Amino acid sequence: PTSENLVPIRLDIEIDGQRFRDAFTWNPNDPDSEVVVFAKRTVKDLKLPPAFVTQIAQSIQSQLTEFRSYEGQDMHTGERVVPIKPAIAIAIREQLYEIAIQSVASARESRANKKGRRGTEHLSARKKRDWDVYEPIVDLLSNEEVDALEAREERIAR
């Protein structure tokens, strides 16, 4: 969880030969962010079959539920300032989320092993006034650009 509690959401849904893939962050504290409304709007905007509404809503809801199970736990990671692209930003956020979960688990384990002794912790966070400086930059890509990017990533992975 972050100071804004943005949740990394990844969708990969296939129904009747049609596939929908997307990755984004979700702010569960936003009063306008209702999962079903979002799913309906997405299906309408992308002209997907109505069956996608339920699948999108269920997938988002299950990821939000999993995220909430970790909410309130102390999860801080180091920081780096680098310009990033939209899909990469989501992947990085997911990786940091996983690292934070692992560090919480190991911290709990070490606390249990120390039998009540406390160590010093060093926490660093950005000041609120600096948040906008470090926000990710979003590029809108056409389908052709997405295909080219995925092909390039596959070549690099080999």
Q: Which two tokens stand for residue 27?
A: 């702010």
Element (H, E) at 37: helix 35-46
Inter-residue contact 153 to 85 (CB < 8 Å):
no
Instruction: Please list the residues that pair with 10 across neighbouring strands.
Output: 23
3-class DSSP assignment, residue 107: helix
Task: Name the nearest CA neighbour of 66 among 97, 41, 88.
Answer: 97
Roughly what angle, to the nearest 10 degrees, separates helices 35-46 and 51-68?
A: 140
Q: Which string of b and e fits 9-40 if b means at least 16 CB within 10 Å? A: bebebeeeeeebeebbbbeeeeeeeebeebbb
Q: Domain ranges for the chain, please list them.
A: 7-72
Predicted TM-score (pTM) of the model is: 0.47
Exposure on the CB side of residue 115, measured as CA atoms within 13 A: 0
Cα separation, 147 vs 143, in Å, equals 6
If you ran DSSP here, which 8-state letter would residue 123 be given?
A: -
Instruction: Please list the residues that pair with 19 across neighbouring strands.
Output: 14
Inter-residue contact 84 to 47 (CB < 8 Å):
no
pLDDT tens, per residue, the chain with 158 residues: 445 668 889 999 999 889 999 988 888 877 667 899 999 999 999 999 999 999 999 999 998 888 877 766 655 556 656 555 576 777 777 777 777 777 777 766 666 666 555 554 555 566 777 766 766 667 777 888 888 888 888 888 87
